[in-house]
Structure 1
Amino acid sequence: MSDSWTPVHLADIFTPGRGISYSANDLKDADGTGSPFITIKNFNKGGGFNHKGLKTYSGPDFPMQRLEPEALLIANTDVTRDAEIIGAPLLVPALDERPLFSMDVNQLTPTGKLGYVDPRYIFFRLCIADARSHMQKVSAGSTVLHLNVKDALKFRFDLPPVSEQAKIAQILDTLDTQIQKTEALIVKLEKIKEGLLHDLLTRGIDQNGQLRPTPEQAPELYKESALGLIPKEWICSEIEDLLDCPSRSGLYKPSTFHGRGAPMIQMGNIFSSEFVSFEKVGRVSVTPSELEIFGLENGDLLFARRSLVLEGAGKASLVKDLPEPSTFESSIVRLRLRRNVISPYFAIAFLQSHFSYSNRRKFIRQVAVSGVSSADIRQFLCLVPPLGEQQKITSCLGTSRSRIASERKTLAKLKKQKAGLMNDLLTGRVRVTPLLKDAV
């Protein structure tokens, strides 16, 4: 590291200022009335501003505590399980009105003792591992973490000259912009896919490869069913009538059998996507006969029998690209379909739709957790177009899915690149001085 970088503590360059106290009646969801109000819900995990958490405030005004754009805040309270918010930084964005901020947040105001400090640089600096570790160490609490702000400001790091601060922040800002644009594109593509799925599941694809006219345009092409109007060529069937073999609940094994052996799909592996995830999968020791009875095949449908949230009960996921012989736990139900009648890919597209949720909702029982039984699952309704039409529908959805997957890979690559650059640039391991010389 160059001698031009100065060792500092946060307390050398910032003084903390806590936000205002408020009552629940002072806050509303951001609806255009009242002043923007920043709380810990506006902090992304690890740092950054989350617009979705923005509230409006209608209590007494505190003009001196209104924030300018790029004001630097840190969270001094955290209710997340893994302490992902405590001490995390946030730069205030430009809003329609200068916001106020809550007592769970501290503003870091520059002291000016060491001259100008770029708040964007400090924001990024407080996001990397050594800063996050320090903030977590100087926090305490069980269900709610509280930051010892005085100790937080003892965080020591090396501060580059202002010109390097600005260049480093510019490079990371550029990457952030690319990441945000990619995230926005993924959201847009997901909405397009959702609209496409709705059209495909209500109108289908005709012999010319086009969406059928709507029921309003051509009512003679449709008929009534338990799920509403559907194309005349389609049927509406209970899943039980589409099964190739009886449904099967998963395998229970005591904890002494866990940690080795075959992959065991658990609830967390089926909630994240329409396809079963084999990432972070647990393992269990099973006998050959258990693996034969409780094993998985590509094309199997796995249903969650219970969930902490209502929407999760009865949720389905499809086994695809099975990496090795695997099994599934007792809270999951396995179904195998007659593939000469229905494609598993079409089935999962339908079962993940709001049409299916509306149908299965009536089966869900709510006690401590939301749940359905194997018998309930077999009574779930499913639309069944002719096989050829199912293939056309899944092909359309596959194209949309592939585009989204490609953008997700791009996003992961950008985030990995940013993480590497942050550690290199913010610690001085890689210098930006050659870029500054080129700019002169």
Structure 2
Amino acid sequence: MSHRNGEVPYKHPWPEDQLGNVASVTVGGTPSTSVPEYWNGEVPWMSSGDVHLRRILDVPTRISDLGLRCSNATMVDPPAVAIGLAGQGKTRGTVAIVLCRLCTNQSVALIKGNPHTLDTNYLLYNLEYRYAELRSRSAGGGRAGLSKQLLEAVPVPLPSTTEQSKIADVLSTVDRAIEQTQALIAKQHRIKAGLMQDLLSRGIDAEGNLRSEETHEFKDSPLGRIPIEWDIAELGSLTESYDSITYGVLKPGPYVENGVPLLQIEDVIHGDIQIELLHRISPELDSQYKRTRLRGGEVVVSLVGTIGRIAHLPPSVCGFNLHRNLALVRPVAKHSSRFLYHFLRSEGGQKEFARNSLGSTQALFNLGSLRALCVPLPDPDEQERIAERSDALDAASAKTALARDKLIELKTAMMQDLLTGDKRVTPLLEPAEIT
């Protein structure tokens, strides 16, 4: 179906109607910021960024009763679907379920379904599924934003309210599992941050126990209190040679189809390396940068943009090369590259990047500053023990993140099935409920 004809732009077995005929759409307003009396009262006031909370039980901003009366903000009872109306980022078209009484600014609409026709929770998932379509319906060729009039004209498939409710129930079950898994990830991150701080400042003794000042000797150092057995060294002193901390390829273009894979910041900082997606440089250019041919096991550091982002390279990158926006750090064999990786991305390591920066807004980090970074230096065996414990924390977090990602994939597939009618929830309903 084509939505130029006022129809839902995908096939489904149900009747449909425009949203304005089966729901109320309320767009808010903003009290004058020049009148202090309009603000910091008791009235919850939602801004467009709040839609990313997904389930809204409260919002951080308040206006006064006077601000409510002297603006276009309108209180709406729950439940309602909030949708971002403006913006070039992800906000425009993003939806959330509002479960408290509140008002909004002019960049958010609140939609309440007619309870006899449209289940509000079903509407949440229907509009979420149609995110790209809603953005394409925006006035001004997708640039100006959504409006009350545009939303009211959006056609909505209308199964029976009983089937709508069951569709929403099924999808909300998956949503709750995603939220619980995300909460577990956040908890793991908090625990991991604390443990990493302990591991990289107190270490693990020969018996496998975390040191404490009650049971072990410590000393002062440029990095704070550390075990008396540890040393402090500059990063450059831990590498094979002066050139073992170096820039990569200066001008990689033009890329070639069958060449040497080139690692860049976006390829190695945010997750597993997708080798088939890497840009490739000519063998001739690669031969000019033999010093940065990768072996696997090195540490790389971002030098532009957000400096100090760290990655540890797997063996699969052997023979690849490196872009100049990353620095290669290749420690000597007796020093654990995994220990070095964990320290550099830890709170202590990131403080060292900040300390060696020329300014808080610096967009570049030079090799001299990188070589001068202070690094704690346990003996090689303890480095390995700390790296193994840190790896285990990373693996636990990765396992939970993978479970969350699988749930998100499941939800996407279920939305495709249930919201198009490819798979019906009617077998889950009592026969008398099916209309």
Please report how far the alpha carbon of residue 363 of structure 1 lies from its aligned counterpart in structure 2 after TM superposition: 2.1
> Which residue number in structure 1 is paired with residue 87 of structure 2?
78
Asked if 1:193 corresponds to 2:192, the answer is yes
Deviation string 1:271-310 (CA, Å, 9 cap, x unpaired) is: 436x877585333333352463331121211122221xxx
SS of the equivalent of 1:150 reads helix
Distance in 2, matches of 1:163 and 1:403, equals 41
Name the CA shift for 1:145/1:366 in 2 (closer, same or farther; >3 Å).
farther
- 1:120-199 → structure 2 map (5 Å cutoff): 120-128=121-129, 131-140=130-139, 145-199=144-198
Taking structure 2 as the reference length, what is the TM-score of the superposition?
Answer: 0.86
Percent identity over the alignment? Answer: 24
Paired with 1:106 and 1:87, the residues of 2 have a C-alpha distance of 10
The change in CA–CA distance for 1:269 and 1:364 in structure 2 (over 3 A counts) is farther
Shift of 1:159: 1.1
Deviation at 1:398, TM superposition (A): 1.7
Q: 1:295-327: CA deviations, max 9, x gaps?
A: 1121211122221xxxx2233321124256321
| Contact 1:205/1:392, CA 8 A, preserved across alignment | yes
Q: Where does residue 15 of structure 1 map in the other structure?
A: 24
Q: 1:257 aligns with which of 255, 258, 261?
A: 255
Residue equivalent to 1:313: 307
Q: Is the contact made by 1:39 and 1:54 (CA closer than 8 Å) also made in structure 2?
A: no
Question: Does 1:62 pair with 2:89?
Answer: no
Which aligned runs of 4 or more in structure 1 are off by greater than 6 angstroms? Answer: 50-53
Work out whether residues 82 and 97 of structure 2, in 8 Å CA contact, stay in contact via their aligned partners in 1: yes
For 2:96 and 2:65, the matched residues in 1 are separated by 23
- CA shift, 1:378, in A, is 0.3
Cα separation, partners in 2 of 1:317 and 1:33, compared to 1, 3 Å: farther
Q: Which residue of 2 aligns with 1:417?
A: 410
Pick from 383, 392, 404 the counterpart of residue 390 of structure 1.
Answer: 383
Q: Secondary structure at the match of 1:183?
A: helix
Shift of 1:221: 0.8
SS at match of 1:255: coil
RMSD over equivalenced CA pairs, Å? 3.0
Note closer, same or farther for the CA distance 1:392–1:290 as it changes in structure 2 (3 Å cut). same
Residue 288 (structure 2) pairs with residue 285 (structure 1): no
AA aligned to 1:107 is: L
Q: Which moved more, 1:428-437 or 1:284-293?
A: 284-293
The answer to whether 1:330 aligns with 2:324 is yes
Q: Could you say if the C-alpha distance between residues 251 and 71 of structure 1 is closer, same or farther in structure 2, counting changes exceeding 3 Å?
A: same
> Which one-letter code corresponds to 2:154 in the other structure?
F
Equivalent residues, number: 415
Secondary structure of the residue that 2:211 maps to in structure 1?
coil
For 2:420 and 2:405, locate their aligned partners in 1 and report how far apart those are by CA, in whole Å. Answer: 23
Q: Distance in 2 between matches of 1:53 and 1:142?
A: 32
Counterpart check, 1:399 vs 2:395: no
Question: Kindly tell me: are residues 93 and 284 of structure 1, through their superposed partners in 2, closer, same or farther at Cα, counting changes over 3 Å?
Answer: farther
Q: Distance in 1 between matches of 2:121 and 2:111?
A: 12
Measured against aligned partners, the alpha-carbon deviations of 1:129-160 in whole angstroms (never above 9, x if no partner) come to xx323322222469974214323332224210
Equivalence for 1:228: 224
Query: What do residues 396-415 of structure 1 show as CA deviations (whole Å, max 9, x unaligned)?
Result: 11222111111111111100
Contact 2:46 2:105 in 1 (8 A): yes
Cα displacement (A) at 1:431: 0.5
Residues 17-43 of structure 1: CA deviation (Å, up to 9, x unaligned): 21022344789xx9x974332111012
* Cα distance in structure 2, aligned partners of 1:289 and 1:318: 23
Residue 437 of structure 1: how far off its partner (Å):
3.3
Q: Check 1:367–1:193 CA distance in 2 against 1; reply closer, same or farther (3 A cut).
A: closer
Q: What is the DSSP-based 3-state SS (H/G/I as helix, E as strand, rest coil) of the residue aligned with 1:283?
A: strand
Whether the aligned pair in 2 keeps the contact of 1:87 and 1:152 (CA below 8 Å) is no
Q: Does the 8 Å CA contact 2:45/2:59 hold for their aligned counterparts?
A: no
Separation in 2, partners of 1:76, 1:400: 40
Structure 1: unaligned runs, 5 residues or longer = none
Q: Please state whether the residue corresponding to 2:327 is helix, strand or coil.
A: strand
CA contact (8 A) 1:305 1:372 kept: yes
Provide TM-score, normalisation by structure 1: 0.85
* Residue identity opposite 1:186 in structure 2: I
- Once the 2 structures are TM-superposed, how far is the Cα of residue 57 of structure 1 from its aligned partner? 2.8
Could you tell me which amino acid in structure 2 is paired with residue 387 of structure 1? P
Structure 1 partner of 2:430: 437
